[in-house]
Structure 1
Amino acid sequence: MVAVPHDSGGAPTVSSGEGSEKINGQATASITSSVALPGTNAYSRPDSRLDAATETALAAVHNGVAADYTARIKPSGVTAEYPYREVDGTLLYTVQRIEPGVQGQPKTFRTVWHAVGAPRVPYRLPEVLDAIASGDTTVYVTEGEKDADALAALGFAATCCGAGGWTDAHSEHLAYAGAVVVIADKDEAGYRKAEKAAESLERAGVPVSVVEAATGKDVTDHLQAGLGVQDLVPCEPGAARRESLVSEEVFNMGVKEEAKARYAASKAGPSSWGRVDPKACLKAAAEPREPEVGQFKCTGTEPPHGVFYGGCVNEVHGESESGKTWFVLYVVAQELMAGHGVVYVDYEDDEGSVYRRLKLLGVSEEILAGDWFRYHRPNGPLTDAEKTTFNVSVAQAGTTVVFDGVTEGMALEGLTGRDERDVAAWHGKTTKDLAHAGWCVIVIDHTPHDEKRTLGSQHKKAGISGVSYLVDAVHQIRAGERGLLRLKVEKDRPASVRREAAPGKRPQWRGDLVVDCTAGALPDVSLWPAVPQDDGDDDDTNPPKFARRVYDYVAANDGCKTAEIRGRKLGKTAEVAAAQTWLVRNGHLKVETGPRNSSLHHAVKPLEVAQD
């Protein structure tokens, strides 16, 4: 027989022999250790017994491992021991409470096994089963042994699971209980464990409820305050766990001023009221701010340009169903696929629509399921507690924060877009801190039908420190059709976006988002820069110079590359490039990616125009 007692120093040891074992000098029932085999009892040795030499060698190995473990954790002292027993009273293992614990913890726990292959069972199992057998008994499930013992001392049937968490195997032992009350510790881990235990007991068909202490963290604190089990408070562990997370974070961060200070510190930036470094000011004056979030397609005549400014509040507005959210989501997709984090606050749409469009725009489910895209859909104001929750997303790496639906967002705060003070208050509460921290902030707003200005106060426009785009649906985006959204620059404080726009009256044409849903399951989407017009007109319906020549060349040389088109001397390079861009934008030519990321051109739609 292999017995596993404790020696006087508290280290688990193995000795060989017959008779009873001792734990810290106390005699216990004889324990036979074995590995459970099919058709055998978990605690009986198979018929083929090990010889004495082998048993001695195994005992020596076990003792060596146990001694090494004890030496490494260097417990200051075992302050309590909790024996776990089989139905018949057989000792399976003991949980030791060590105070103080290892690595600076106030306490840790160690399990000392007394039977090889022994299962984990509920604490105080024989006593609990005796209580169940005696009649219609309520069993209390606590998080730890100390709490279970405190209830047992008052005459209640109480148990817990110890290390490893509550499982369906634990629930099977309580299948015949009249009722089970799970007592949750009042912290995030406690609510999570209580929720798991309750779900397992429900699967076993046991009547179960979840309660928590009326005062203090656990039932021991509750009892020490002079309260009884009848004073325990019902709770819903899932909701309580979420509330605990928020409350705990609020407690850790303190009052509103401290939360703001910690947010600023996390961005490693100075106070907004502190003096700005004059060297940084001179550098900003010498280097004009360029748009760096999102990217227009490169036409070959110039490098690709950005769409929105980082460190600024940018705006996209247009009529209802003008496609403004499509435009912003296209830029979001570009950022995500470039490995940049994005926070999206949605006041008026839903997660299904947003995620569906991002998948159509080529964003993988792996990216959307991770932490790169953080989607929020609030239905209440941004309180101090909610801002703390929101800052969890902001504290992660990223470039862009989107607020979709300014009017709806202001309404949640009890503000109106027609009052300039309310507009300023909303930006001060939501967008300005983010922009100061370096984020590219994009707000999406509505314009009334046949108008260019957003709904409400002129101050909405004044609050934009970056670029403001007006989106006009030349052809709406629909399934099986080819949509075209025209982007016009209505305001550009840094002026770098307007510099690249087509000359002409304001708002100036900056580019087109083409969403071609005629090709297949996924649309072909491109963000094209504007083609400058000599007369300053932004009308893109008339073919530019050399469009006929370029189209005919592609039709005669299917699959030709950009360099081949521009190397045939069909005209001036810039004019040929403009014609090529116009033909692709208007669906006369289609571009697909070829070897080594080359662009292969195909004529797909006849061009009704005379020879150049």
Structure 2
Amino acid sequence: MTWEPIDLSGITDEVAAGIDGRPEPALLTREDGAGLLYPGMVNGLHGESGSGKTWLALHACAQEMRAGHAVAYIDHEGDPRSIVARLMDLQVTADQIVRHFRYSQPETPFSDGAGLLLTGLQDEEVRLVVIDSTGEGLALAGAKPNADDEVARWFREVPRRIADHGPSVLLLDHSAKAAGGELWPIGSQRKRAAVNGAQYYIETLSPFGRDRPGAAKLVCAKDRHGRYIVGQQVATLHVTPGDRLRITLAAPEPTERADHGGFRPTMLMERISSLLEREGALSSARIEQSVTGRREVVRRALTLLVDEGNVTRSHGARGALVHTLSRPFTTSPRTRGEVINGDLDWPVTAGARSNVEEPPNHMD
């Protein structure tokens, strides 16, 4: 790209003819066929440790490999044995892994091997590139996670450059620590602008482990192209362990949809409920200031809480509307104080590993 103006005549002709060119998410598909990741763009997935980020990323890889497409996994945190074992857990065959899975564990900055990697992505028509994780990738490049200019430079030089060669890029990251900041990963706000596809937050609904089924929800934090709205639950991840591990990505339950057919901002509704439970009665202005999210979506969430009887609304001093919690709202079946099991590296199908005992793996 240069500073010279772009000739838009061809684009205007296509738009006028009804070919608007707006992209659609086509990878990491739900059971109903709807996709979550945009091809040729940078997408993100973040959540707490143990929330299932790596499992979901490998589920996306497995979908592509079973369809005969090549994928690449740039691993800054794990090890190849663990990743291969998980793929076999997901019923990906050894032949499919050898033919379609490109795994790398770089020890030098991207610039040292960029040419070879990018050429390989094009030659093999790689559809998906997972980078696990953003924080470790930044560290390898010597970039500070809170330095805006260094973060922006890394996004330009690594994930955006890879996406420009065709693949969908999926970045795995950790959630911000600050209360109410779950919708964005930890570190510089430059990460928000750098994602030109979609960003999702994964939250555990019920803990899952070696012998315990569980679930997590995916919430939209950003969709550059408007397929999903901020705060909308876009999918539910179900994990069922056993001799044959099963992972499914389902469309949101009907309870996540408003009666008029739109989507209910249940994440913000739960956040407002928790705020009122913690702080007591609050005005509309105080709630909008305290809850992270677009103001119009926060207002909609508050209105739904009032309409459904979770919150009562009354007039206070100087005409202010005061809101009081009458019944807590929650989307999570887990009880308060329950610890989420972060050790998700359960044994694979018989024969997939050797009998040599490995050290514990702390990946998601």
Q: Quick check: TM above 0.5?
A: yes
1:522 partner letter = R
Higher alpha-carbon Rg:
1
For 1:170, the equivalent position in structure 2 comes to none
For 2:106, the equivalent position in structure 1 comes to 378
For 1:7, the equivalent position in structure 2 comes to none
For 1:514, the equivalent position in structure 2 comes to 238
1:380 partner letter = T
Cα deviation 1:359-416 (Å, max 9, x = unaligned): 111211101112x1100111221234x2233234323212111111111111111101
Q: 1:486 offset after TM fit, Å?
A: 0.6
1:358 partner letter = L
For 2:205, the equivalent position in structure 1 comes to 474
Q: 1:281 offset after TM fit, Å?
A: 6.3
Write the mapping of 1:86-101 to structure 2, written as runs, cut at 5 A. none
Change (3 A) 1:288 1:391: closer
Q: 1:495 offset after TM fit, Å?
A: 0.8
Q: Matched residue of 1:496: which SS?
A: coil
Query: C-alpha distance in 1, partners of 2:20/2:209?
Result: 45
Q: Matched residue of 1:316: which SS?
A: strand
Write the mapping of 1:239-258 to structure 2, written as runs, cut at 5 A. none
For 1:163, the equivalent position in structure 2 comes to none
Write the mapping of 1:432-581 to structure 2, written as runs, cut at 5 A. 432-449=160-177, 451-452=181-182, 453-498=184-229, 506-517=230-241, 520-531=242-253, 532-534=256-258, 536=264, 538=266
Write the mapping of 1:28-427 to structure 2, written as runs, cut at 5 A. 275=6, 278-280=9-11, 283=14, 286-298=20-32, 304-370=33-99, 372-384=100-112, 386-395=113-122, 396-427=124-155
Q: How many residues align?
A: 254
2:238 partner letter = V
Query: C-alpha distance in 2, partners of 1:290/1:484?
Result: 26
Query: C-alpha distance in 1, partners of 2:212/2:88?
Result: 18
Cα deviation 1:257-290 (Å, max 9, x = unaligned): xxxxxxxxxxxxxx67784664246547724321
Instruction: Report if the CA contact (8 A) 2:144-2:151 is conserved.
Output: yes
Query: C-alpha distance in 1, partners of 2:2/2:249?
Result: 36
Query: C-alpha distance in 2, partners of 1:525/1:404?
Result: 20
Change (3 A) 1:273 1:368: farther
Q: Matched residue of 2:126: which SS?
A: coil
Instruction: Report if the CA contact (8 A) 2:118-2:165 is conserved.
Output: no
Instruction: Report if the CA contact (8 A) 1:315-1:468 is conserved.
Output: yes
Query: C-alpha distance in 2, partners of 1:475/1:458?
Result: 30
Query: C-alpha distance in 2, partners of 1:433/1:454?
Result: 21
Q: 1:533 offset after TM fit, Å?
A: 3.0
What TM-score results when the alignment is normalised by the length of structure 2? 0.65
Query: C-alpha distance in 1, partners of 2:48/2:55?
Result: 13
Q: Which stretch of the first structure deviates more once superposed, 426-435 or 389-398?
A: 389-398
Q: CA RMSD in A?
A: 2.3
What TM-score results when the alignment is normalised by the length of structure 1? 0.39
Instruction: Report if the CA contact (8 A) 1:291-1:497 is conserved.
Output: no
Higher relative contact order (CA 8 A, sep 6+): 2
Cα deviation 1:221-242 (Å, max 9, x = unaligned): xxxxxxxxxxxxxxxxxxxxxx
1:391 partner letter = L
Query: C-alpha distance in 1, partners of 2:7/2:127?
Result: 22
Instruction: Report if the CA contact (8 A) 2:27-2:39 is conserved.
Output: yes
Change (3 A) 1:426 1:509: same
Q: Matched residue of 1:427: which SS?
A: helix
Unpaired stretches in structure 2, ≥5 consecutive residues: 268-332, 334-364
Instruction: Report if the CA contact (8 A) 1:317-1:324 is conserved.
Output: yes
Query: C-alpha distance in 2, partners of 1:434/1:516?
Result: 33
1:363 partner letter = V
Unpaired stretches in structure 1, ≥5 consecutive residues: 1-270, 299-303, 499-505, 540-585, 587-612
Instruction: Report if the CA contact (8 A) 2:47-2:173 is conserved.
Output: yes
Instruction: Report if the CA contact (8 A) 1:323-1:476 is conserved.
Output: no
